[in-house]
């Protein structure tokens, strides 16, 4: 295996591991790694990032189903709303300058990271979800509104920035439903997969092509990383995981701002 191949697989491994560990970090790392690590053009990087994160998240969601960690009702409502808005985000993204798009992405990551850092420490023994307070699967109108709004926002950002949307899905699930960080991560993987399907289809309808074998190697690395991240996740404390997620956002946001604003 040559150096270039190892680099592609290693980048995919990092994306998968962070996605398995945090439920959203993969989408944060995928675009910068493709752009700056593998020198993939912006348009291609957005589409390939979305495909890789989506497939890897789907693989991770299957792994979590065995442990009953996925909140299906909340996840499906969130995902359906996101699938409707992801194509709109894809269309908007193709009409914006690359530097503006990436800088906005970085600022959004910094903001969400700050919210995550200040957020409550969610543990596995947290009280039942506020959105199922009336009984299993019994949602009130307010929950439909909040989950639908959060899903629509995640879908729009997913299509716009070429990410799975996990960096907004996890915080919204935490703040809206009250589920623990580990259950939010597991549910996020299901949502990311479904929203990404919609976004990838929109990219393909716009004529997006996925370079081979780079795409297969990157996705393969992502699958291996998901297994690694899922294994490590069970050994990480909930508060630590939440703040690790936030710190990763800040570091990558700073890097992207420096590259786009100070190093044209």
Task: Please say whether the beta carbons of 192 and 165 come within 8 A.
Answer: yes
What is the pLDDT, as a whole number, of residue 130?
57
pLDDT of amino acid 10: 92
Q: What's the pLDDT score for residue 142?
A: 76
Closest to 14 (Cα-Cα) out of 66, 65, 56, 61: 56
Q: What is the pLDDT of residue 56?
A: 86
What was the pLDDT predicted at 123? 41
C-alpha–C-alpha distance, residues 221 and 22, integer Å: 17
**DSSP three-state, residue 264:** coil
Residue 224: predicted pLDDT? 92
pLDDT of residue 218: 92
DSSP 3-state of 33: helix
Q: Minimal CA–CA distance to 82: which of 159, 189, 178?
A: 159
Q: Please tell me the number of Cα atoms within 13 Å of 35 on its side-chain side.
A: 20
* Cα–Cα separations (whole angstroms), residue 200 to 74, 90, 149, 154, 219: 23, 9, 21, 15, 14
Give 10-residue mean pLDDT values along the chain (264 residues). Answer: 87 85 68 85 82 86 83 87 88 82 81 71 45 52 83 84 71 76 83 85 80 89 87 71 76 80 65
Q: Identify the pLDDT of residue 134.
A: 40
Residue 4: how many CB atoms within 10 A of its CB? 11
Residue 196 · residue 53 · CB < 8 Å: yes
- Residue 121: its pLDDT value, please? 43
Q: What are phi and psi of 211, to 5 degrees?
A: -65, 135
Residues for the chain: how many in total? 264
Report the pLDDT value the prediction gives residue 164, as an integer from 0 to 100: 64
């Amino acid at each position: 295996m040559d150096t270039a191949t190892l680099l592609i697989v290693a980048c995919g491994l990092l994306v998968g591991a962070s996605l398995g560990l945090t439920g959203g970090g993969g989408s944060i790392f995928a675009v910068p790694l493709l752009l700056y690590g593998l020198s993939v053009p912006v348009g291609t990087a957005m589409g390939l990032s979305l495909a890789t994160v989506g497939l890897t998240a789907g693989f991770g969601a299957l792994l979590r189903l065995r442990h009953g960690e996925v909140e299906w009702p909340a996840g499906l409502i969130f995902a359906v709303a996101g699938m409707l808005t992801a194509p709109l985000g894809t269309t908007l993204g193709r009409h914006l300058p690359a530097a503006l798009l990436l800088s906005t992405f970085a600022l959004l990551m910094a903001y969400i990271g700050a919210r995550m850092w200040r957020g409550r420490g969610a543990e596995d023994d947290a009280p039942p979800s506020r959105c199922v307070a009336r009984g299993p699967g019994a949602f009130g109108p307010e929950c439909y509104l909040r989950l639908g709004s959060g899903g629509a926002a995640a879908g729009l950002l997913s299509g716009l920035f070429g990410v799975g949307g996990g960096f907004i899905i996890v915080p919204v699930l935490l703040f809206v439903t009250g589920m623990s960080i580990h259950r939010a991560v597991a549910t996020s993987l299901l949502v990311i997969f479904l929203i990404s399907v919609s976004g990838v289809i929109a990219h393909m309808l716009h004529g997006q092509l996925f370079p081979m074998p780079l795409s297969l190697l990157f996705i393969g690395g992502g699958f291996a990383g998901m297994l690694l991240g899922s294994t490590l996740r069970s050994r990480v404390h909930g508060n630590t995981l939440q703040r690790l997620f936030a710190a990763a956002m800040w570091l990558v946001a700073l890097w992207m701002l420096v590259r786009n604003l100070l190093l044209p």
